[in-house]
């Protein structure tokens, strides 16, 4: 509990004791009785009264504070002192409860967000100095000791350690790093001392990007939240005028008909309806549910950029996936090599690896890995990466092209058909065919379950799009059980394909694109929802996607959908429950069937139940 919450709790306890004491002591003098009851009333309600008055002064009359102030002042004027104090008391209990629940979810998120590093260690003249990570320039060597967070993205220059990435990915398995490995900020060093040469500024590092993303997520409101805001804007004034009419009209009609007016009866009923109608249960619990859903998801390594995306995810009917790096590991192994006349296999691989040395594509990384030697980048000039085709570059002054058949066709080089299947990388040197390297990728362990899980979750069609060759694509599709596969696509063709599906589907059906963020940013932003996976370290993906899966596991898509459905179920439960109770109590209050104590339940009780229900969104257990 915070200090502020403790103060409110103390006020609640004191006021509760005082009001019971006042109730038990028989005081006959009416003025003295009023004066005595004013003590607990003011202790518990002074801040609400103040806010209500300020609201009226500023012209924003109709809010919860005004409802509560009007109802309790009215009750006191009618001589219903205990009820007047009780309304305030329970309202404050409800508020306290709600602020505690919000605080708890916020803490839960910030626990994940505990990735924010406070300092970076720099070694200067044999001394370790702690500096603000913001001040560290690119290329500085920083020191990360066991137990400390990696503050900035970089490359290990000395030492080895195991890193805990659970705050980022929700995975508990540690990651081993050694000299030469890239590390991203936000991981916690669990063993050895690491020296890291930073490759980015703090503001551009993974940890800053993620924090920025989560902090902004509450800005993007879901439709349900917008509905409630709009609803409250009309509802509260309507209720106030309704109550005023209820207090005035029946007595006036009675007077006109020459009957007894029953003023206090109708005013009491009006005040009861005022208390009942307080919309706080909705206004508070709906954003809290989304907040909880987003928080619960982020604890599982799923970052959702806004409530609107969480809401849309529950309506997913079409899932379109990229192949390489999304459904497959994107770690290729060389399975076969065929050198043309005048070239050796070693030369072939060296040329390809060098030409690819600047690329981020999974294929290039794998080729460099297969080559296995350090590449002197000064040998490589004028690199041109043609997405969906491959790369062209000058290596040692010779023009090298490495890529698929499309690339060879483009360069008008006749290639030799490989007699084995696999992803093909053809290599040409100075316009002459040099041979091909066949590489094979493996399907990710969770990919098959992910496809099955999506189908079970009501997804109508799982589509796989890939730039890879047809036989490879079809083999993978068969293995995973995807419904539709389209191969040999350029990035632009993927957009066309997604647009075709978008035009075909119903308005309430959402299309999700899942990619790894490498040359599929246009599709990510074109789909209703873009999910980037394996985003650790890839800025492009974090930027272009609406939902970011921090690790490589495709099964997280299904988990994200389950979390989104659960959150929306809770939201709908709360809306229906709160409105049903409110409207039935409003009716009963207006006809005088229920009194102030029921009104208190309809207000505070409903709010507490709704908030309790909302906090369920935060926890998610796999069934």
Q: Does 356 help bind ligand ADP (rule: CB under 6 A)?
A: yes
Q: Among residues 233 and 470, whose Cβ is nearest to ligand ADP?
A: 470
Scanning 34-42, 58-66, 120-128, 384-392 for contacts with ligand ADP by CB under 6 A, the matching segment is: 384-392
Report d(CA 516, CA 496) in Å as an integer. Answer: 18
Q: At what angle do helices 280-298 and 223-256 cross, to 10 degrees?
A: 170
Cβ contact 48:68 at 8 Å = yes
x-or-dash string of contact with Mg ion, 493-532, rule CB under 5 A: -------------------------x--------------
From the list Mg ion, ligand ADP, none, partner contacted by residue 154 (C-beta under 5 to 8 A by kind): none
- Calculate helix-pair angle for 81-112, 30-57, nearest 10 degrees: 40
Residue 224 contacts residue 283 (beta carbons within 8 Å): no
- In the chain, helix, strand, coil percent, each to 5? 55, 20, 30
DSSP one-letter code for 137: P
Q: Which is nearer to ligand ADP, 213 or 489 (CB)?
A: 489
Minimum Å gap between C-beta 515 and ligand ADP is: 7
The reply on whether position 364 binds ligand ADP by CB under 6 A is yes
- Burial of 331 from C-beta contacts in 10 A (0-12 / 13-18 / 19+): middle
The yes or no reply on residue 486 touching ligand ADP (CB under 6 A) is no
CA distance 545 to 530: 5
Tell me whether residue 4 or residue 470 sits nearer to ligand ADP (CB atom).
470
Question: Which of helix, strand or coil describes residue 348?
Answer: helix
Task: Name the minimum Å distance from CB 603 to ligand ADP.
Answer: 55
The site map against ligand ADP for 297-336 (x = CB under 6 A) is: -------------------------xxx------------
The count of other CB atoms within 10 Å of the CB of residue 346 is 11
- β-strands 380-386, 182-183 pairing: unpaired
Q: Binding string, 418-437, against ligand ADP, x = CB under 6 A?
A: -----x-x------------
Q: Does 468 bind ligand ADP (CB under 6 A)?
A: yes
Residues 500-519: x where in contact with ligand ADP by CB under 6 A, - otherwise, as a string: ------------------xx
Q: Which is nearer to Mg ion, 91 or 332 (CB)?
A: 332
CA distances from 125 to 99, 195, 419 (A): 50, 15, 61
Note whether 149 binds ligand ADP by CB under 6 A: no
Could you give the CA distance from residue 69 to residue 78 in angstroms, rounded to a whole number? Answer: 14
Report the DSSP beta bridge partners of residue 154: 183, 198
How far apart CA 289 and CA 312 sit, in angstroms, is 15
| 83 binds, options ligand ADP, Mg ion, none, Cβ within 5 to 8 A by partner type | none
177 contacts 160 by C-beta, under 8 angstroms: yes
Q: Smaller CB distance to ligand ADP: residue 82 or 399?
A: 399
**Least distance CB 150 / ligand ADP (angstroms):** 29
Q: How far is the CB of 473 from Mg ion (least distance, A)?
A: 12
Q: How far apart are CA 394 and CA 392, in angstroms?
A: 7
Residue among 359, 538, 562, 615 that touches ligand ADP (CB under 6 A) = 359
Query: For residue 382, what are its two tokens?
Result: 């004028």
Provide the minimum distance between the beta carbon of 181 and ligand ADP in the complex, in angstroms, as a whole number: 22
- In this structure, the chain runs to a length of 623
Among 467, 530, 534, 589, binds ligand ADP (CB under 6 A): 467
Q: Which of residues 301-360 bind Mg ion (CB under 5 A)?
A: 322, 324
- Sign, CA dihedral 184-165-208-226, equals positive
364 vs 562 by CB, closer to ligand ADP: 364
Active-site annotation holds for 322? yes
For residue 477, the minimal CB distance to Mg ion (Å) is 16
Count of other CB atoms within 10 angstroms of residue 481: 12
Q: Write the interaction track for Mg ion spanning residues 528-557; mark x where CB under 5 A is met and - where it is not.
A: ------------------------------
Tokens of 578: 């709160």
Torsion, Cα of 498, 503, 507, 511 (10° steps): -10
Nearer to ligand ADP, 186 or 467 (CB): 467
CB of 323: closest distance to ligand ADP in angstroms?
Answer: 4
- Write out the binding residues for Mg ion, residues 102-141 only, by CB under 5 A: none
Q: Quick one: tokens of 614?
A: 């909302």
DSSP class per residue in 486-538: E-S--HHHHHHHHHHHHHHS-TT-EEEEEE-SSS-HHHHHHSSEEEEES-TT-
Which of 114, 118, 181, 322 is catalytic? The answer is 322
Nearest to 163 by CA among 131, 206, 105: 206
Among 363, 395, 428, 559, the residue binding ligand ADP under the rule CB under 6 A is 363
Least separation in angstroms between residue 361's CB and Mg ion is 7
- Measured from the CB atom, the residue of 272 and 404 that comes closer to ligand ADP is 404
For ligand ADP, the binding residue among 11, 221, 305, 361 (CB under 6 A) is 361
- For position 357 contacting ligand ADP by CB under 6 A, the verdict is no
- Whichever of 112 and 363 has its CB closer to ligand ADP, that residue is 363
Residues sharing a CB contact under 8 Å with residue 58, sequence separation 6 or more, in sequence order: none
Determine, following the binding rule CB under 6 A, whether residue 441 of this chain makes contact with ligand ADP: no
* Beta carbon nearer to ligand ADP, 321 or 459: 321
Q: Catalytic positions, please?
A: 322
Q: Which residues bind ligand ADP (CB under 6 A)?
A: 322-324, 356, 359, 361, 363-364, 385, 388-391, 402-404, 423, 425, 466-468, 491, 518-519
Interface with Mg ion (CB under 5 A): 322, 324, 518
């Amino acid at each position: 509990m915070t200090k502020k919450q403790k103060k409110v709790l103390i006020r609640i306890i004191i006021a509760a004791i005082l009001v019971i004491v006042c109730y038990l002591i028989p005081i006959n003098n009416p003025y003295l009785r009023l004066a005595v009851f004013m003590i607990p009333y003011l202790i518990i309600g002074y801040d609400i009264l103040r806010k209500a008055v300020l609201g009226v002064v500023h012209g924003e009359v109709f809010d919860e504070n005004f409802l509560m102030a009007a109802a309790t002042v009215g009750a006191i004027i009618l001589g219903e002192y205990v009820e007047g104090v009780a309304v305030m008391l329970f309202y404050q209990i409800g508020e306290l409860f709600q602020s505690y629940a919000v605080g708890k979810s916020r803490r839960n998120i910030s626990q994940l967000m505990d990735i924010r590093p406070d300092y970076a260690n720099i070694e200067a003249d044999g001394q370790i100095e702690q500096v603000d990570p913001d001040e560290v320039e690119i290329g500085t060597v920083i020191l990360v000791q066991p137990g400390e967070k990696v503050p900035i993205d970089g490359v290990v220059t000395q030492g080895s350690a195991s890193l805990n990435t659970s705050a980022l990915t929700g995975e508990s398995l540690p990651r081993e790093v050694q000299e030469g490995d890239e590390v991203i900020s936000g991981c916690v060093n669990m063993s050895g001392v690491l020296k890291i040469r930073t490759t980015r500024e703090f503001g551009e590092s993974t940890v800053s990007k993620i924090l920025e993303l989560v902090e902004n997520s509450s800005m993007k409101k879901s439709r349900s939240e917008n509905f409630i805001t709009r609803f409250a804007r009309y509802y509260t004034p309507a209720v106030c005028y309704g109550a005023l009419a209820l207090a005035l009209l029946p007595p006036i009609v009675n007077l006109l008909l020459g009957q007894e007016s029953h003023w206090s009866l109708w005013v009491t009923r009006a005040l009861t309806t005022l208390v009942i109608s307080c919309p706080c249960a909705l206004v508070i619990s709906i954003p809290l549910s989304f907040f909880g859903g987003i928080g619960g998801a982020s604890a599982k390594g799923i970052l959702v950029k806004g409530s609107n995306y969480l809401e849309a995810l529950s309506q997913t009917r079409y899932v379109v996936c990229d192949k390489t790096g999304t459904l497959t590991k994107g770690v290729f192994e060389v399975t076969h090599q065929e050198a043309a006349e005048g070239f050796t296999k070693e030369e072939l691989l060296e040329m390809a690896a060098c030409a690819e040395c600047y690329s981020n594509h999974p294929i290039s990384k794998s080729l460099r890995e297969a080559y296995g030697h350090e590449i002197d980048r000064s040998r490589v000039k004028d690199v041109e990466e043609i997405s969906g085709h491959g790369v062209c570059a000058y290596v040692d002054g010779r023009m090298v092209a490495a890529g698929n058949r499309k690339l060879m066709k483009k360069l008008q080089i006749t290639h030799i058909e490989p007699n084995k299947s696999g992803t093909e990388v053809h290599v040409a040197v100075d316009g002459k065919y040099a041979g091909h390297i066949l590489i094979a990728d493996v399907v990710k362990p969770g990919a098959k379950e992910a496809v099955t899980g999506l189908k079970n979750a009501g997804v109508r069609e799982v589509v796989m799009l890939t730039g890879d060759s047809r036989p490879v694509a079809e083999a993978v599709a068969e293995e995973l059980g995807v419904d539709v596969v389209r191969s040999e696509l350029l990035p632009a063709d993927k957009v066309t394909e997604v647009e075709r599906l978008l035009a075909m589907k119903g308005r309430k059906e959402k299309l999700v694109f899942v990619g790894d963020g490498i040359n599929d940013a246009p599709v990510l932003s074109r789909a209703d929802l873009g999910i980037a996976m394996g985003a650790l370290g890839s800025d492009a993906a974090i930027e272009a996607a609406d939902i970011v899966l921090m690790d490589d596991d495709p099964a997280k898509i299904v988990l994200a959908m389950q979390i989104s459905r659960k959150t929306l179920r809770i939201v709908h439960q709360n809306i229906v429950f709160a409105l049903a109770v409110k409207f039935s109590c409003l009716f009963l209050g207006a006809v005088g069937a229920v009194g102030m104590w029921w009104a208190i339940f309809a207000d505070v009780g409903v709010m507490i139940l709704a908030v309790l229900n909302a906090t369920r969104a935060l926890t998610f257990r796999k069934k």
